[in-house]
Amino acid sequence: MLNVIAAGAMLLSTLGGAPAPGTHIVAPPDDDMTISVVSANGSGCPQGSAVVEVSPDNKAFTVSYSKFIAEVGPQSGALDYRKQCQIALNVLIPSGYTYGIARADYRGYARLEAGATASETAFYYFQGMSKTGVSKYQFSGFMDDSWQVTDEVEVEAITWLPCGSSRYLNINTELKVNRGWSNKSTTSFITMDSSDLNLDTIYRVAWKQCPF
């Protein structure tokens, strides 16, 4: 598997400042975090193709997609080279806590002919607040392999949901393929899929107690 890891800077947030002095990340609350998909829009996530699952320990949640693939080739449509999805999540957390995204793992598969390239771009932000920095990864053919990229945020740079507020978490992802100088009779594609043909994007959650 091709594994690309980027630390810290790729997802340094512009949503808010560093946490107040003397505050510390705490263990996940005993009560469950619940998440529901409010909306999913874009060519990469047709209706009903995006599912969210929260880990039993409240430390992560996974967004799975089943129809997220970008491709170029003789049988591809004119717009198939780029697929995008924006999801709004309603995240309900126990009273007295707030959360932030500390790490995001994206994985999938790519089949790129020599001369073709592909990219994966992602960012997330809380409703009504500024966007985070964008993380973007490039892949080049020839490639016929699974891939995984990881973005980690330093503790002091995590963006926290303001205590007591209720805001949707918006997640925006994009896949794109460029034919380049590859043979026009061939097909190149990139998808984010696991062995069960679903795209799995895992967001790992850090917790704080309010107020801070």
Q: What is the pLDDT of residues 136-166, one digit of tens each?
A: 999 999 999 999 988 887 777 788 888 888 8
Helix (H) or strand (E) holding 87: strand 82-92
Q: Which residues pair with 82 in a beta bridge?
A: 176
pLDDT of residue 110: 95
pTM: 0.81
For strands 135-140 and 34-41, give the pairing.
Answer: unpaired
Burial tier of 95 (Cβ tally within 10 Å: 0-12, 13-18, 19+): exposed
Answer whether 192's CB lies under 8 Å from 175's CB.
yes
Q: What is the chain's mean pLDDT, rounded? A: 82
Cα(13)–Cα(113) distance, integer angstroms: 35
What is the Cα–Cα distance from 31 to 52, expressed in whole angstroms?
18
The mean pLDDT value for 161-182 works out to 93
Mapped onto helix, strand or coil, the DSSP state of residue 135 is strand
Reported as half-sphere exposure (CB side, CA atoms, 13 A), residue 86 has a value of: 8
Tens of pLDDT, residues 30-83: 888 898 889 999 999 988 888 888 888 888 889 888 889 999 999 999 999 999
CB atoms within 10 A of CB 20: 9
State the residue for tokens 């949503």: 15
